[in-house]
Structure 1
Amino acid sequence: MTMFWSVINALATFVMALSAAYFFLNVGMGIGQLRRDKTTLGHQSHFVYGKPFQVSPDIEMPTDYVTYFLVACLNEEAVISSTVAGLLHPDGQARIVVIDDASDDDTGALATEAGQGQVILVRRELPNARKGKGAALNAGFTRIRADVAERGLDPEKVIVCVMDADGQLSEGAMAHVLPVFEDPKVGGIQLAVRIRNRSTNFLLRFQDYQFWSQSALTQFGRMRTNSVSLGGNGQFARLSALLAVDDAPWSTSLTEDLDLTVSMATRGWQTSSTTRAAVDQQGVETFQALLKQRTRWYQGHMLTARRLPEILRSAKMGHGAALEMALYVLVPWIFDLPWSILYHLVLIEVALMLGTLNITEWGAVSLILYVFTWYLLGFWPALLTAFIAHRRDHTLGIGGALKMGHAFVVTNYLSYACVWRALIRILRGQHGWTKTARTAEPRLDRIGNFTDAADVQKQGQ
């Protein structure tokens, strides 16, 4: 039995040390990236959203790029008007390709109305529609390719931006995104994600904490290895890079964005980000919906591990990028699944050990030191991430940050549930999903202003 617990302790120490090193190394590099950009942890928390083409007098935006926005929609009448209005160019030059994937509601009509002539509507009909987000994006991409060819545009200077139907880019985002593409090796850019309705309840605030105070910083860290993971919202890609992947670059994967990241990287394209722009979106308002969403993400992420040999064999990726990307696609397999078992075995061992102690003989100081030591061992990541979150989000007080940090330890059980649900679905060969419902929002006017002044205030919170 002693040998058993020795092995468990060794495995637990290895997994915990490797995961902590990977996470905090990326976070540390992310903070370093902010310093190189001469900005701060809290800089992005002051962003407002809805006017991506706004130009600041002290920023020069490249004018030789053409941007196409790509928005896949299925029954999105609750949010599509605001999304389209938030992407409009004040001079009428935006090209917003809305793919209506056989919606049963007024998504297409509302998108066209809100677009003021800047929307290109692609309507898909059953039985060819509703084949997943990747298929819908590829349908819109076909329309973009035709338009680019008709206009005689250079694919190197055409940028395709994928937006969720509830997404909003930060004010002036394009002036910060486009200059990154001046490096001809950059094929894609992913913006940090903010949860717009985070003040509604604790579940939404926690999602924002994960996206804004953790994922965003690790993404900035990946800028050092040029292996930033693309997401489904606020994803920018050079047209020539997409064409290098395929005429239909988005796969049928449940995480088509991660799949695209791997495809670009193995073909020699770099992926990056910018610390001076962001994108926001609605969070999932119920636990059941969040469980379903995260299970889908885990399942797609886990299946991406099949491409590990492709990553490691690629002669076009740098060693740092290949190593980081290999670790990233393996996270569910080498961190989450093992730790969901090892963590509880360690708890059992601790309980057995405590059963042999007679703490009634201890003095108060010894007992306090003992409890405090175990607290630090168990919650030091929470304390560190809480401090970062407090600096990152000016709306999150120190008390709220500590609550989020400690909640992260408890809500690991959400990850445990999702990763095992995903594994079961993989073993059963289940791949179908229904989309997450959106919450209705106020519309934006033609230049990206919310029609209700109170909503403007909410948007900036």
Structure 2
Amino acid sequence: MPSLLGSISLVLTVMFLAYMTFILIPYVRHKKESPGDPRRFEWHIFIPCRDEAAVIATTIARQRDRFPDAHLWVIDDDSDDDTSAIIQAHADADPHVHLVQRRRPLARTGKGDALNSAYAALNSWLPDDADRDRVIVTVVDADGEMAANALAAVAADDCFGDPVVGAAQITVWMKNRDDRMPYPERGRLANAFARYLIRMQDVEFRTVILAMQSLRSRTGTVGLGGNGQFTRLSVLDRIGEGYGAPWHGALLEDYELGLHVILAGYENRQVHETYVAQEALPSLRRLLAQRTRWSQGNIQCVKYIREIVGSRHFDSSGVLECLYYLFLPFLQIVGLVVILLTLVFQGVTIVTDPAALAGVVDHAWAFVALGMIFGIGPFAIWGVLYKLRCEPGSTWLQAVGWGVGLVFFVQYILISVTRAMARVALGRNGWAKTRRNAEVHVAGPVSVDV
């Protein structure tokens, strides 16, 4: 058994290091993109809301200021607070703001259903002779802040200027990454830990996740995110014709949509030269709930493997990338089991043969060296790249700290994927909304359906 565990551990380590290398190279080699003319397209921004009174007025005002020609379709998913009234007030004063009202029992059935309701409302509003290839639908979170150059960036000739491109995803930043007091009512230690969580989420999205997208740009499998995604209306039409509706029921409905765009014969693009900013979560509990939902949504998308493998729109590299990503939660569970069993066998060996402890001590330097190379090194490099690419004014000491901090931060995966597997096994697919940071200060800790 120990030899088998060692072999499995070696295979998983090689796969992990190979993948980290594959995403690192295109990320480092990425070339600057040129913007296009957003006037070539019509822009419609979907903003799904559920109890978003704390942030939605600011979001509407900011989008209207930065993108005066765009229409906002703000979906109230039967909120219990003043969200609907706030949206309606803006809609009454501005013809570019539209309230899409949902009511229970048809409401609160998932983000995909909420977006589909906005899609239906947009279809009813558009004239029959609208050029649906030129209509671009954008999805932004209720707290999302798109950069002022976002529409120009995705209007580029190699993005929506190319008719084969059906969807695009822009980079995600954490807008509260420099917040010094995430919890003003709490002590210094709690705020330090909250700042650490916030910064690590910014590092993760702007390096590791963006690097994954850089690899996918090469394999033709760029994924869409829930914030800052753009899709041609004609492509949404085609997906709806094939699957009944553009968005579907997976908890990772954004990645699911990206797969459908490719299966429909179009390409996705990752756009680096602009961003959408969102709130990072300063709470470990809320972070674990969010990442558990993502892992569960990933598992739900495994059902598309047969379509991916059988589609002529995915080449061999694209199939391999999708298979690795979709099976990643299962590989992570296997890795966790291997680690636990290895520790158990090592402990039993030491208890039954005390002399074995001396051997472990003698080779401790080797374990430490291997841990530094394979355990810390692949993550520490992202702290350096984050400094060079994202925070050039930071110190090298900060860069090292961010890299080492990422080593500990990513351990959330062990908890989130385990909880996701348990939820799948128990058939629990519902999910409670993750509260905004402003709501938590007012209402206290969030309750999560886990």
Normalising by structure 2, we get a TM-score of 0.85
Structure 1, 346-355 or 184-193: larger mean CA deviation: 346-355
1:145 aligns with 2:123: yes
Alignment check: 8 A CA contact 2:75 2:114 kept: yes
Runs of 5+ in structure 2 lacking a partner? 183-194, 351-355, 440-450
Aligned to 2:167, which of 188, 209, 224?
188
Structure 1 position 411, deviation (Å)? 3.2
Q: Summarize the Cα distance change of 1:415–1:90 in structure 2 as closer, same or farther, 3 Å threshold.
A: closer
1:400 to 382, 398, 401: 398
How far does residue 113 in structure 1 lie from its aligned partner after superposition? 4.0
Using the alignment, how far apart are the partners of 1:286 and 1:62 within structure 2?
38
1:63 offset after TM fit, Å?
Answer: 1.9
Determine the C-alpha separation between the residues in 2 that align with 1:6 and 1:117: 68
Distance of 2:66 and 2:203 partners within structure 1: 33
C-alpha contact (below 8 Å) 2:115/2:247 kept by paired residues? yes
Task: Assess if the C-alpha contact under 8 Å between 2:380 and 2:406 holds in 1.
Answer: no
The aligned counterpart of 2:358 is 356
Residue 135 of structure 2 corresponds to residue 158 of structure 1: yes
CA deviations on 1:417-440 (whole Å, 9 max, x unpaired) are: 111111111111011111011134
Structure 2 partner of 1:341: 337
Looking at structure 1, the residues matched to 408 and 416 of structure 2 have their Cα atoms a distance apart, in angstroms, of: 14
Q: Does 1:82 align with 2:79?
A: no
Alpha-carbon distance change, 370 to 419 in structure 1, aligned in 2, over 3 angstroms = closer
Report the Cα distance in structure 1 between the residues aligned to 2:25 and 2:227, rounded to whole angstroms.
25
Q: Alpha-carbon deviations, 1:329-369, whole Å to 9, x = none?
A: 221122x111112234455677768713385xx8xxx9878
1:153, 1:358 → 2: CA distance?
72
Post-superposition offset of 1:232: 0.4
Distance 1:306 1:79, change over 3 A: same
Report % sequence identity.
30
How high is the TM-score relative to the length of structure 1?
Answer: 0.83
Provide the C-alpha distance between the structure 1 equivalents of 2:327 and 2:209, rounded to a whole number of angstroms.
Answer: 16
Q: C-alpha distance in 2, partners of 1:274/1:91? A: 18
Instruction: Give the secondary-structure state (helix, strand or coil) at the position aligned to 2:219.
Output: coil
Partner of 1:13: 10
- Which one-letter code corresponds to 1:230 in the other structure? L
Instruction: Report what 1:37 is aligned to.
Output: 32
Correspondence for 1:294: 291
- What is the Cα deviation at residue 159 of structure 1? 0.4
The equivalent position to 1:124 in structure 2, one of 84, 99, 102, is 102
SS where residue 324 of structure 2 aligns?
A: helix
For residue 230 of structure 1, give the secondary structure of its aligned residue in structure 2.
Answer: coil
Cα distance change, pair 138–370 in 1 and its aligned pair in 2 (3 A): closer
1:125 aligned partner, one-letter code: R
Cα distance per residue 1:98-144 (max 9 Å; x no partner): 01111122212323445633211111111111111111000001011
User: Is the aligned partner of 1:388 residue 2:385?
Assistant: yes
Is 1:202 equivalent to 2:193 in the alignment? no
**Residue 190 of structure 1: CA displacement?**
0.8
Partner Cα distance (1:79, 1:320) in 2: 41
Structure 2 CA distance for aligned equivalents of residues 68 and 318 of structure 1: 32
- Does the CA-based 8 Å contact 1:268-1:317 persist in structure 2? no
Alignment correspondent of 1:168 = 145
Work out the CA distance in 1 between the residues paired with 2:167 and 2:285.
33
In 2 relative to 1, CA 318–145 (structure 1 residues): closer, same or farther, beyond 3 Å? farther
Measured in 2, the distance between the counterparts of 1:385 and 1:392 equals 10
Superposed, 1:42-57 pairs within 5 Å as none
Letter in 2 for 1:268: G
Q: Does 1:268 align with 2:257?
A: no
Find the counterpart in structure 2 of residue 459 from structure 1: none
Measure the CA separation in 1 of the matches of 2:44 and 2:128: 13
Residues 200, 409 of structure 2: 8 Å contact kept: no
SS of corresponding position for 1:96: strand
Question: In the TM superposition, what is the alpha-carbon distance from 1:414 to its structure 2 partner?
Answer: 1.4
Asked if 1:105 corresponds to 2:81, the answer is: yes
After TM superposition, the structure 1 stretch with the greater mean CA deviation from structure 2, 243-252 or 84-93, is 84-93
**Equivalent residue for 1:64, pick from 40, 43, 50:** 40
Aligned length: 410
Secondary structure at 1:278 match in 2? strand
C-alpha distance in 1 between matches for 2:383 and 2:307: 37
Matched-pair contact (CA < 8 Å) for 1:75–1:105: yes
CA contact (8 A) 1:73 1:100 kept: yes
Write the distance in 2 (CA, Å) between the matches of 1:342 and 1:128: 45
Instruction: Call closer, same or farther: CA 1:405–1:350 in 2, change over 3 Å.
Output: farther
**CA distance in 1: counterparts of 2:171 and 2:35, whole angstroms:** 20
**Alpha-carbon distance in structure 2 between the residues aligned to 1:97 and 1:61:** 23
Q: Distance in 2 between matches of 1:390 and 1:345?
A: 38
Choose from 275, 282, 285 the match for 1:285: 282
Residue type at the aligned position of 2:359? L
Mapped partners of 2:84, 2:196: distance in 1: 33
Separation of aligned partners in 1, 2:373 and 2:135: 51
Deviation at 1:288, TM superposition (A): 1.1
User: What letter is aligned with 1:418?
Assistant: S
Q: What are the equivalent positions in structure 2 for 1:234-273 lying under 5 Å apart?
A: 234-246=228-240, 248-273=245-270
CA spacing shift, 1:308–1:60, aligned 2, 3 Å? closer
Question: What amino acid maps onto 1:98 in structure 2?
Answer: V
Amino acid across the alignment from 2:335: W
Amino acid at match of 1:111: I
Q: Is the 8 A contact 1:382 1:402 kept in 2?
A: no
Task: Establish whether residue 96 from structure 1 lines up as the match of residue 72 from structure 2.
Answer: yes
Greater Cα offset, 160-169 or 12-21: 12-21
Q: Deviations 1:249-281 (Å, cap 9, x if unpaired)?
A: 110111111111111112211111112111110
CA gap of 1:369–1:14, structure 2 versus 1, over 3 A, is: closer
In terms of mean alpha carbon deviation, does 242-251 or 153-162 score higher? 242-251
